[in-house]
Amino acid sequence: MTIAFQGIGVAASQSVAIGPAFVTGHGIHTATQTLIDADQVGDELDRLNTAVAQARRALKAVRSQIPPSTPRNIAEFIDTHLLMLDDVALIDEVRKIIRDQLFSADWALQLQRDTLVSVFDAMDDPYLRNRRDDVEHVVDQIMSFLHGAPTQLEATGRDLEGCVVVARDLMPADAITLRNRGAAAFVTEFGGPVSHTAILARSLSVPAVVGVHNITRYIRSGEPLVVDGDTGTVLANADAQSLAYYRQRLGAIEARRRHLRTLVDRPAITRDGVTINLLANLDLPEDAQAARFNGAVGVGLYRTEFLYMNRNDLPDEAEHLATYLTIVHALDGLPLTIRTLDLGVDKRSEALGDPGASCCNPALGLRGIRLCLKEPMLFRPQLRAILRAGALGPVRAMLPMVTNLQEVASVLAIIAELKEELTHEGLAFDPALQVGAMVEVPAAALAARALAKRVDFLSIGTNDLIQYTLAIDRLDDSVNYLFDPIHPAILRLVRMTIEAGRALATPVAMCGEMAGDPRFTRLLLGLGLRRFSMQPGALLGIKEIILDADTRELERRATALFAGLDEAEPAQLLDALNAA
């Protein structure tokens, strides 16, 4: 019998896996309401403390097994869980419930978990909402020790080589354990595409599908499973035909990856001799390795927001500088574009609270450059660090969410002041630091010529440009279907920005997701885009298209597409442009 499940697909670099299921009950520990006598409080607190200590030891053991090649953020996930074991809001509250309400440690833990989970559930921000997973994972770990048994995943000595692990939920620590033990993929009932575990699966290149409701009830260990991390499909007991299809896809994915690797050292030059700059987007300093591994000629967007997340304080100038220099060093002479802080809406800092919370629509509120200009004490240390990093490598600053020229002028004035300050202090900096603006709001695109006169470069952030132009919140699932990079309005704004840059000899890049999507590469080349910045894993696929492109031909085709834009469906026009 063939049972097909549809879940949320989580893209991972190796997107398909076939292997026997290993079903684990991980993530199911629950407690029943149990009252204790007043004289049992001490024992119950001891039980809790012992379980917390065991959970801490178990997490530390996993942390020590992380191979040195693993990205640092993975260890940071474990550190987050270790910190939570000491968190006042979690463990101290549980102790209080035991003492005040005379509940068993298990029940007190479950009560406090439910309280915290409901707080996270009420949050609008999907990133923060997913932090509820961390609470659940840590509580589950403690609960398993309270129940006297380590988690099933750790208890088994079974070799997971080639297995597809199926679990209700997995802790980030499990993702590492799984990979170390050779698991081919994992499937969970819970979790969303931006949960820590899903992020880790992508970083670890383990195919994964999350959010497959009730799958642990339907699958038995040993059953053959197919996991398609591209479409979010999990097939159990697939028939011979489906298996043959997926085996062929797996083979094709591997062959393609091998082929793309052969392109890594080839310069991205089109058939008619035009050099294209293929740059990488970095979320974390560690991503610089992946950028180089995939042949990036520089970094077109380093999102510094991640420096501010998962902590209760703000990074100071020294920390900014040290982080930037780590990347400069890793890039070994390749240029680094540091985007200044773009907090607000989806990217937040615990230390700053929620700057946009007081207004109705934070996406239109105090975010990006607006927040930085309002809070100079936040902005100045970052700018000083960028200027100082510029003395030691090719570094540029890029401003997010620019809507008017005054914002650019204000930043340039602050930079001029900081240069004087640094000179006075005798600190080295780049006196000719290049400053660019992101084009992410329609106003910036419409005023691109004026902007292009005042900055050293522009970079089109299509993720936000699409959100603001089409009036769709990029975090709101219910309007995601309207997200359309080839809406005529978007195409016109992109063209307008590229042309403004061309007219004023101001380089224009694109660093939104559209730049790394192979469907749009030929169109963007036809519009005159020569700088593409994208997640490192997308670089070689885009390079392959570039190597086979002829910009003169594509410019003709793009002109034809625009001529037909009011008459035909953009998708059909795009197909025609992409046709051989």
Instruction: Please list the active-site residues.
Output: 196, 511
Using rule CB under 6 A, residue 354 touches ligand PEP: no
287 binds Mg ion (CB under 5 A): no
Q: Minimum CB separation from ligand PEP for residue 465, in Å? A: 7
On whether the CB atoms of residues 199 and 249 are closer than 8 A, the answer is no
> Stretches 96-104, 177-185, 216-224, 455-463: which one binds ligand PEP (CB under 6 A)?
455-463
Q: Which is nearer to ligand PEP, 370 or 388 (CB)?
A: 370
Cβ at position 342, least distance to Mg ion in Å: 6
Question: Binding segment for ligand PEP among 123-131, 207-215, 323-331, 456-464 (CB under 6 A)?
Answer: 456-464
Q: How far is the CB of 510 from Mg ion (least distance, A)?
A: 12
Query: Is residue 512 a contact point for ligand PEP (CB under 6 A)?
Result: yes
Distances in Å between the Cα of 494 and the Cα atoms of 347, 460, 466, 472 are 25, 7, 10, 18
Residues 6+ apart with CB under 8 A from 130: 191, 192, 194, 195, 196
Options 207, 300, 461, 526; binder of Mg ion; rule CB under 5 A: 461
Local structure of residue 438 (DSSP, 8 states): E
- At its nearest, how many Å lie between ligand PEP and the CB of residue 533? 8
Q: Where in 294-313 is the site for ligand PEP (CB under 6 A)?
A: 301, 303
Q: Which does 303 bind (CB under 5 to 8 A by kind): Mg ion, ligand PEP, none?
A: ligand PEP
- Give the N- to C-terminal CA distance of the chain in Å, as an integer: 42
- For residue 190, what are its two tokens? 């819970």
Instruction: Write the CA distances from 279 to 291, 459, 514, 542, integer angstroms.
Output: 8, 12, 13, 11
- Strand partners for 510: 460, 532
One DSSP character per residue, 175-239 reads HHHHHHTT--EEEESS--TTSHHHHHHHHTT--EEE--TTHHHH--TT-EEEEETTTTEEEES--
Residue 464 interacting with ligand PEP (CB under 6 A): yes
Nearer to ligand PEP, 98 or 486 (CB): 486
Counting contacts by CB under 6 A, is residue 494 touching ligand PEP? no
Q: Chain centroid to CA 559: how far?
A: 35
29: left (phi over 0), alpha (psi -120 to 50) or beta: beta
- What is the C-alpha separation between 156 and 168, in angstroms, rounded? 17
Cα gap 570→227, rounded to integer Å: 33
511 contact choice in ligand PEP, Mg ion, none (CB below 5 to 8 Å, kind-dependent): ligand PEP
By the rule CB under 6 A, 461 interacts with ligand PEP: yes
Nearer to ligand PEP, 44 or 440 (CB): 440
Smallest gap, in angstroms, from Cβ of residue 382 to Mg ion? 17
Q: Tell me which H or E stretch contains 426.
A: none
The option from Mg ion, ligand PEP, none interacting with 537 (CB < 5 to 8 A, set by class) reads: none
Least distance from C-beta 288 to ligand PEP, angstroms?
17
Q: How far is the CB of 337 from ligand PEP (least distance, A)?
A: 11
- Part in contact with Mg ion (CB under 5 A); list of ranges 208-216, 332-340, 446-454, 457-465: 457-465
> Within the chain, what is the greatest distance between any pair of CA atoms?
85
Phi, psi (rounded to 5 degrees) for 545: -65, -40
- Interaction residues for ligand PEP, span 332-351 (CB under 6 A): 342
CB of 528 to ligand PEP, least distance (A): 19
Q: 153: which 2 tokens?
A: 């995943």
Tell me the site size for ligand PEP, rule CB under 6 A.
10
DSSP annotation of 340 = P
Selected range binding ligand PEP among 142-150, 165-173, 457-465, 499-507, rule: CB under 6 A: 457-465
**Per rule CB under 6 A, is residue 279 in the interface with ligand PEP?**
no
Q: Is 29 in the site for ligand PEP (CB under 6 A)?
A: no
Rule CB under 5 A: say whether 346 interacts with Mg ion.
no
Nearer to Mg ion, 386 or 439 (CB): 439
**Which tokens in the block code for residue 159?**
């070799």
Q: Give 344's strand partners.
A: 347
Q: Among candidates 107, 82, 132, 89, which has minimal Cα distance to 30? A: 107
Q: Could you say which of Mg ion, ligand PEP, none residue 81 binds, taking C-beta under 5 to 8 angstroms by partner kind?
A: none
HEC string of 79-139 equals HHHHHHCCCHHHHHHHHHHHHHHCECHHHHHHHHHHHHHHHHHCCCCHHHHCCHHHHHHHH
Which residues are CB-contacts of 250 (< 8 A; sequence separation ≥ 6)? 16, 17, 18
Describe the crossing of helices 240-261 and 539-547 by its angle, rounded to 10 degrees. 70
Among residues 209 and 444, whose Cβ is nearest to ligand PEP? 444
Q: How far is the CB of 37 from Mg ion (least distance, A)?
A: 58
Site string for Mg ion, 401-440 (x = CB under 5 A): ---------------------------------------x
Q: Is 464 in the site for Mg ion (CB under 5 A)?
A: yes
Q: Which of 462, 506, 535, 551 binds ligand PEP (CB under 6 A)?
A: 462
Closest residue to Mg ion, based on beta-carbon distance:
464
Q: Is 511 in the site for ligand PEP (CB under 6 A)?
A: yes
- Region of 365 please: left (phi>0), alpha (psi -120 to 50) or beta: beta
CA distance 471 to 107: 46
Q: How far is the CB of 233 from ligand PEP (least distance, A)?
A: 27
Say which entry of ligand PEP, Mg ion, none residue 166 contacts (CB below 5 to 8 A, set by partner kind).
Answer: none
Contact set with ligand PEP (CB under 6 A): 301, 303, 342, 440, 461-464, 511-512
Judged by the rule CB under 5 A, the positions of this chain that interact with Mg ion are: 440, 461, 464
